[in-house]
Structure 1
Amino acid sequence: MSDFVNNFWSNYIAAGTVLSILGCMLLLWLTARKRVPSDADNTTGHVWDEDLREANNPLPMWWIGLFVLTIFFAVGYLVVFPGLGSFSGQANWSTRSEYDEDVAKATAALAPVYASYAGMTMEDIAREPKAMAIGERLFMNNCSQCHGSDARGSKGFPNLTDKDWLHGGTPEKIAESITKGRIGTMPPMAAAVGTQDDVKNLANYVLSLSGAPHDSVRAGLGKSKFTVCAACHGIGGVGNQAVGAPNLSDKIWLHGYGEAAIVQIVNAGRHSAMPAQEGRLTEAQIKLLASYVWGLSNPATGP
């Protein structure tokens, strides 16, 4: 209920719950008071299909007692547990508190496992099979939804198995990205570039930086327009990890390949976000996860 901006829905649910219980009580009371007249053969006089007669057999008392007990149980439940709008109940129970307790228990149980890696560098951890098994499970549970189960990413989600890093590929930088998250924003640049024909020329120049198929005439015309991009992507489009600007001179295209894709990005800009895992994962978990991710692009060599 805390997600609502006012108390209307909380009060609405509480009122509906109370009225439902009162309605059940009223229905039981009216049913108990009503007496249906019956004939000598204990039928009500209603006949269907010529010979189907309705017998006047009231509910047995034990059955009515179950209905009454259900009402008492509902009232008791609503006093102890949440159910009346924003009222948390006398037990102060919530799914969040139960989840936090389970997480705390699991963290305490796993603490000795993570403690064994506390004195190791992340490079050494990446060479430890048991640690990498834990890192893989952490990755599958927290990262694979975006980066894929094989960590090779997809359009808009970086490949973590190569050497192309937006913010740096050291274990420390990877841990920083996991902990704090990352925000990547490229504003629409079409107005600064010029006309749409200028944007196409620029797109072909960008393609030429990596040796991708392009129109050489347009690329030559677009080279001067790249000055508005060099502030972030650097001279020659080699990228800038300090601001997370991609390297445009390699053959890795995070948001799509080809003239049309580049034109669309220049015209509309691009915004990407990786959520921070701080608060969801412990420092020890982040260390093993960062070690695992680093190990994906730095596989062990030799025996």
Structure 2
Amino acid sequence: MSMGWNWYIIALTALNLLGVAWLLWWTAKRRPGDPRPEETSHYWDEDVTEYNKPMPRWWITGFYIAIAFGIGYLIWFGGMGSIPGVSGWSSAQEHAIQKAAADARLEETFRPYQGQPLPALAADPVAMELGRSIFANTCATCHGSSAQGAIGYPNLADDIWHWGGEPEQVLQTVLDGREGIMPEWGTVLEGMGGPNAVDYVIAYVRTLGHSQEAVGSDFLAAQGKRLYEGVCVACHGIDGTGNQALGAPDLTDDYWMYGDSKESLYETIANGRHGVMPAHRELLGETRSRLVAAWVWSLSNQPNAEGAAGGTR
């Protein structure tokens, strides 16, 4: 904060305190010619009179003491912008002390799980409860409380993983984040196949994962196959099964993160997508990230009797 803002705050505070003190003095003072307290001309039932008496002296004195206390409080604790108080106290320092104490308690709570592999954590009910709680506080905003995602946010409760579903791959996703980019291919495809090129590719993509015998008899899909093999194959592969190293999704399953309508697919191919999974290493730390990653991984991997987990992939 600049000194200009400091002086602004000081002046505003001083004016408020002086204004309150002046108001007390002005309203408590009786002046020549003022009517007596009982001369209000307000009567009820002939013998009930409204008085206009000044506040008791002890009450007014209490207000002055409160103003003096407020001035002392500001000087002691520092209420003048960024100018420190006499005591040296600051809210930032207090926050740092409380945060350090809370971090120490958390560190003690999470110490038993430090460096534990995800399958072992997935077999520990207490670790899973901690992981579920961390997920609810940190990840549910995007992926939902049940981890089933939404349009644009992947479902974490199934066995489809764009960046790989092995324990260390899931942990890396949580720790360091991911950035998935689908380039804009509309202009390129139209240059190769005309104004309907994107529609051709959509028609062919819809056949992936199904029998390819029908492609030859489907004009749109046949045109799309040629365009797909010229552009899309680099990331999604010749058979459309994708590439987890790039985060390129498998196009042969029935899961579409941005929706499977023609309009959604057109938007994806023509204008691209840019999905970002934030890194949580700094926010959660390694151990808490490990716990939440283990909980997410456990949603599609049930632990066996030995404490390892049997995967669905």
TM score, norm. by length of structure 1? 0.82
Which residue number corresponds to residue 113 of structure 2? Answer: 117
Contact 2:201–2:223 under 8 Å retained in 1: yes
How far did residue 234 of structure 1 move? Answer: 2.7
Which residue number corresponds to residue 243 of structure 2? Answer: 240
Distance 1:231 1:76, change over 3 A: farther
Aligned pairs for 1:123-162 (under 5 A) are 123-162=119-158
Which residue number corresponds to residue 287 of structure 1? Answer: 290
How far did residue 294 of structure 1 move? Answer: 1.4
**Distance in 2 of aligned mates of 1:206 and 1:154:** 22
Which residue number corresponds to residue 254 of structure 1? Answer: 257
Q: Select between 194-203 and 10-19 the one with higher mean Cα deviation.
A: 10-19
Contact 1:207–1:258 under 8 Å retained in 2: no
The answer to whether 1:204 aligns with 2:203 is: yes
- Look up the equivalent residue of 2:164 and give its one-letter code: G
- Look up the equivalent residue of 2:208 and give its one-letter code: L
Aligned pairs for 1:142-221 (under 5 A) are 142-194=138-190, 195-211=194-210, 216-221=218-223
- Look up the equivalent residue of 2:226 and give its one-letter code: S
CA deviation map 1:6-53 (0-9, x unaligned): 8877765554333322322232333345526345x5445x54689997
Gaps spanning 5+ residues in structure 1: where? Answer: none
How far did residue 228 of structure 1 move? Answer: 2.1
Distance 1:59 1:232, change over 3 A: same
Contact 1:234–1:240 under 8 Å retained in 2: yes
CA deviation map 1:66-98 (0-9, x unaligned): 32233223323333446544446454422x554
How far did residue 252 of structure 1 move? Answer: 0.8
- The secondary structure found in structure 2 opposite 1:208 is coil
Which residue number corresponds to residue 224 of structure 1? Answer: 226
CA deviation map 1:124-149 (0-9, x unaligned): 22112222122111111211222122
**Distance in 1 of aligned mates of 2:234 and 2:75:** 63
**Distance in 2 of aligned mates of 1:10 and 1:218:** 69
Distance 1:244 1:12, change over 3 A: farther
How far did residue 231 of structure 1 move? Answer: 2.6
- The secondary structure found in structure 1 opposite 2:248 is coil
CA deviation map 1:206-234 (0-9, x unaligned): 2221449x994322211222232223323
Q: What count of residue pairs does the alignment treat as equivalent?
A: 295
**Distance in 1 of aligned mates of 2:13 and 2:30:** 26
Contact 1:81–1:92 under 8 Å retained in 2: yes
**Distance in 1 of aligned mates of 2:3 and 2:182:** 40
Distance 1:18 1:185, change over 3 A: farther
- The secondary structure found in structure 1 opposite 2:299 is helix
How far did residue 114 of structure 1 move? Answer: 2.7
Q: Select between 18-27 and 278-287 the one with higher mean Cα deviation.
A: 18-27
**Distance in 2 of aligned mates of 1:150 and 1:101:** 35
Contact 1:179–1:278 under 8 Å retained in 2: yes
**Distance in 2 of aligned mates of 1:42 and 1:101:** 56
**Distance in 1 of aligned mates of 2:273 and 2:6:** 39
Distance 1:154 1:89, change over 3 A: farther
TM score, norm. by length of structure 2? 0.80
Distance 1:100 1:176, change over 3 A: farther
Distance 1:288 1:72, change over 3 A: same
**Distance in 2 of aligned mates of 1:289 and 1:86:** 40
Contact 1:175–1:287 under 8 Å retained in 2: yes
2:70 to 71, 74, 83: 74
**Distance in 1 of aligned mates of 2:85 and 2:199:** 63
Aligned pairs for 1:34-53 (under 5 A) are 35=31, 37-39=33-35, 42-43=37-38, 47=41
